[in-house]
Structure 1
Amino acid sequence: MRFSLLKRARGVGRWWRRIVLAILLVPLGLVLLFRFVPVPGTPLMLVRTVQGYGWQHDWVPITRMAPALAHAVIASEDNLFCTEAFGFDTAALQGQVSAWWHGQRPRGASTITQQTAKNVFLWPGRDLVRKAAEAAFTLPIALLWPKRRVLEVYLNSIEFGPGLYGVEAASMRYFQRHAADISAAQAARLAVILPDPLHWSAAHPGPYVAERAQTILRRMGELGPLLDCAE
């Protein structure tokens, strides 16, 4: 009887080890796969499709994007992107942890690498489980992908409007031109709408979006070496 119980316990232990190994290796395998392969779709695209928003997504390599697009999202979303060694802004992360510890709602401070992890691999939401999963994907992305690949995947996967994903689809929808032909001013307007793409329009910007786009355009000219990794 004791031998039977011991044998069963060992069998259960083997299964748990296999499950834990799969949990560790499957995300790493996906990160490695998308280091080289275009991302065909994301969980958010599926969610939005179920919500009735449609799905317009045209992948283009970063060599067929105007450089201003990468410059604009760095200037708008993550000024220190090119200098972040492990995909995190440690100062902002410490501020988020401090706010949570004191019972406050942490402010959003995600880097472009974190946003790429979230958009490509995870479900929408702000719960702690999703944030932990985001961190688990962010580190291998930062270690295994060059900065330009992170930008390439981000710019191809991010939501720009209802049912609209990636800079090629957004450029055609809002400006009737390919991503390769976008001007710096248009790139700035696209970057500005990323925090609320379901309600803001790059083609018909309201006062806030127009003013913010001018700020981003000016910042693009000031960042200098902080844009080097996008070249």
Structure 2
Amino acid sequence: MGTEGEKRKVELEGAVRPRRRWRRWILLAPALWVLFSICQVVVLRFIDPPFSSVMALRQLEAWGRGDWKFRLHHQWVDLDGMARSVPISLVAAEDQRFPEHNGFDLKAIEKARDHNAQGRRLRGASTISQQVAKNLFLWQGRSWLRKGLEAWYTVLIELFWPKQRILEMYANVAEFGDGIYGVQAASRQFWGKDAARLSAAESARLAAVLPSPRRYSATRPGPYVQRRAAWIQRQARQLGGAGYVEQID
């Protein structure tokens, strides 16, 4: 009896041990993911990524529907390799309080909420930092999970990156045309020249197609893009022009 009892005890302990191991890993997984995400952001402060998660998912999506000829267009360019009109146009178009907030523009969120509550066309309030978080690390779409991860990465980006790095990253991962990511690829595809040679009008038109680059065209601008590009140029001048971006820490 004693021997059988001991065997039974050993069997039970053997069955419990793997469960404890799995439980330990389940408890450790969130901490490991937090550490991994922090490492991602810290490394990308200094290293230019060859692509973003949104780019990779876009390529996989094309292959998934059998479009084997689809190719992404992307080429990295540093901030000082762009025309000075590019970054200020992006700030003027997308996030005029970019130098002031810590990743979340509470005033813009409140205005968007009031606007949407009146039944008007939906307006977003994402900052440039939030858009970098989404484009670089996550995926397109709407879900509470993605919004939560976006908020987490936004906090990390603002914590570890200077503002100019955030703006440089945004200019390189934003989509400006169907499968065309970053201002260098856009400039080469649309006008056959490097981003350093973009005019103020061309920079404004690139910013004007955001956030709907597959709906609007920077090279064949309709009335909406023309009006918005003109507004962006006015806003850029009022903000202080190219020198405004150079003063951002």
Q: Give the TM-score taking structure 1 as reference length.
A: 0.89
- 1:186 partner letter: E
Report what 2:78 is aligned to: 61
Which of 58, 68, 81 is residue 48 of structure 1 equivalent to? 58
Report what 1:16 is aligned to: 26
Shift of 1:229: 4.1
**Cα distance 1:130–1:77, how it changes in 2: closer, same or farther (>3 A)?**
same
Report what 2:175 is aligned to: 159
**Cα distance 1:27–1:36, how it changes in 2: closer, same or farther (>3 A)?**
same
Q: What is the identity percentage for the equivalent residue pairs of Structure 1 and Structure 2?
A: 39
- 1:178 partner letter: D
Report what 1:123 is aligned to: 139
Secondary structure at 1:119's aligned position in 2? Answer: helix
Report what 1:35 is aligned to: 45
Report what 2:96 is aligned to: 79
Q: Give the TM-score taking structure 2 as reference length.
A: 0.83
**Cα distance 1:99–1:204, how it changes in 2: closer, same or farther (>3 A)?**
closer
Q: Does 1:25 align with 2:45?
A: no
**Cα distance 1:8–1:176, how it changes in 2: closer, same or farther (>3 A)?**
closer
Secondary structure at 2:176's aligned position in 1? Answer: strand
- 2:195 partner letter: A
- 1:75 partner letter: A
Secondary structure at 1:108's aligned position in 2? Answer: coil
- 2:226 partner letter: A
- Say if 2:54 and 2:137, in contact at 8 Å, map to a contact too: no
- 1:167 partner letter: V
Structure-2 separation of matches of 1:226 and 1:174: 27
Shift of 1:9: 6.0
- 1:165 partner letter: Y
Q: How do 1:183-222 residues align onto structure 2 when only pairs under 5 Å count?
A: 183-222=199-238
Structure-1 separation of matches of 2:218 and 2:210: 10
> What are the ranges of 5 or more consecutive residues in structure 2 without an aligned counterpart?
1-8
- Say if 1:67 and 1:230, in contact at 8 Å, map to a contact too: no
Q: Does 1:114 align with 2:124?
A: no
Number of aligned residue pairs: give it: 230
- 1:172 partner letter: R
Greater shift after overlay, 145-154 or 4-13? 4-13
**Cα distance 1:180–1:99, how it changes in 2: closer, same or farther (>3 A)?**
closer
Structure-1 separation of matches of 2:196 and 2:173: 16
Larger relative CO (CA 8 A, sep 6+): 1 or 2? 1
Structure-1 separation of matches of 2:229 and 2:51: 28
Secondary structure at 2:238's aligned position in 1? Answer: coil
